[in-house]
Amino acid sequence: KGCKLVGCGSAVPELMISNDDLAKIVDTSDEWISVRTGIRNRRILSGNETLTGLALEASRKALHMAQVEPDELDLILMCTSTPDDLFGSGPQIQKELGCKRNPLAFDIRAACSGFLLGLTTADSFIRAGGFENVLVIGADALSRYVDWTDRGTCILFGDAAGAVVVQACNDDENALLGFDVHSDGDGQKYLNATIKDKEAEHVLGLNNGAAGFPPRLSSYSCIQMNGQEVFRFAVRCVPQSIEASLEKASLTSSSIDWLLLHQANQRILDAVATRLRIPSDHVISNLANYGNTSAASIPLALDEAVRGGKVQAGNIVATAGFGAGLTWGSAIMRW
Ligand code: ACO
């Protein structure tokens, strides 16, 4: 059994925040941000917009391109670290799409590697049997956890959603050609947004400790990041991972038509392309418009490249996700 990609879609919020807008709230400039990162604008959820709403819009576009009805889905993987519901948004997507057969739907939480790990999970379910059509969504709203007074992080992130439909096929049509995935919890210190617990008894008016286990109120801290360490990790691990995926696919980097990395920083894209000797006009980048959209960045960039006619049927795309966890991985796929 094999897997092929049969549709993609994406969605971004209305509100656009430029570098100049950010320069009004923190000590930075359009020049610093664009030279160091390649980012010029980002989109941020506002008003009544929700992450689930963006994910639905991206999913409907992907299903339409794939000519797959919601009722034909066997599995929905919602890859996000910032769900509208702490318990997971996958089942809400299933409900809102109107999937009458109630396909299995759950969330995958792996920050900027979420979509890549969603693809590998879809591949595993399909190869295990019993799953024909899988919707893989990458969606994040990191703006919810950004410290808007920290110029080192608030300039980087934006909100978005992207989706692909992965379909079972015969071996000879297989289009997911090789994967390589990793994690290293030791690197969590370089990038995290951890739980902040505080005892809630004063809020509830309870006597401290009377019940033996006082109730707690929880929230998450804003994103904490050591940018230089994350940069070094990405430039070291991503080329190695792509080489490992190429080997599994029995290909070399000269077969790559498009390098489509998680859109974190233009300098990371350039450094990885140089290591792999991929010319810059074969590197897909939409960072300037959206910044780092975490799990959404790969399917968002893929969707734009497909609809814009860059990525064409039969092209070999090398993709890689990397980020908090630390987690990272790559895939070689034929569009
Ligand atoms: N505007 C102006 N100056 C700034 C800004 C800013 N927005 N941010 C930092 N600076 C200053 C620093 O304070 C520092 O000043 P100093 O020399 O006086 O101390 C100087 O600029 C250099 O700071 P560095 O942190 O060394 O800058 P660097 O070139 O490393 O760029 C950046 C920072 C853009 C964050 C870079 O390290 C990077 O992109 N790292 C990767 C981050 C990343 O991709 N994270 C997401 C991973 S995905 C996920 O899972 C969420």
CA distance 274 to 241: 15
- The reply to whether 292 belongs to the active site is yes
Per-residue confidence (pLDDT) for residue 204, from 0 to 100: 56
Instruction: Supply the DSSP string of 161-213, one letter for each residue.
Output: EEEEEEEEE-GGG--EEEEEEEE-GGGGGGEE--EEEEE-HHHHTPPTTTTSS
Lowest mean pLDDT, pick from 17-26, 177-186, 212-221: 212-221
- In angstroms, what is the span from residue 227 Cα to ligand 1's centroid? 5
Q: Which two tokens stand for residue 217?
A: 């109120």
pLDDT score for 177: 97
Distance of CA 26 to the CA centre of its chain: 26
Known catalytic residue at 237:
no
If you search the block for the tokens 């969606």, which residue do you land on? 139
CA within 13 Å, CB half, 204: 14
Q: What is the mean pLDDT of the chain?
A: 95
Closest by CA to 224, choosing from 111, 328, 145, 110, is 145
Nearest alpha carbon, ligand 1 atom 29: 36
To test the pocket of ligand 1, the residue of 25, 34, 36, 237 to mutate (highest count of ligand atoms within 8 Å of its CB) is 36
CA 284/CA 304 separation, integer angstroms: 10
- Total residue count of the chain as it appears in this document: 335
Model ipTM value: 0.93
pLDDT classification of 210: cutoffs 50, 70, 90: low
Ligand 1, atom 26, residue with closest C-alpha: 228
- pLDDT average, residue stretch 11-35: 98
Assess whether pLDDT exceeds 70 at residue 207: no
Query: Over the stretch 221-248, which tens digit does the pLDDT of each residue have?
Result: 999 999 999 999 999 999 999 999 999 9
Kindly report which listed range (216-220, 284-288, 315-319) carries the lowest average pLDDT score: 216-220
* 182 is annotated as an active-site residue: no
262: CA distance to ligand 1 center in Å? 17
CA 122 to chain CA mean position, Å: 15
Percent of the chain residues past pLDDT 90, beyond the cut: 92
For a ligand 1 pocket test, name from 145, 230, 263 the mutation site with the most ligand atoms within 8 angstroms of its C-beta. 230
Q: pLDDT of 122-157, one tens digit each?
A: 999 999 999 999 999 999 999 999 999 999 999 999
Q: Pick the catalytic residue from 262, 265, 286, 289.
A: 262
Q: CA-to-CA distance for 112 and 157, rounded, in angstroms?
A: 11
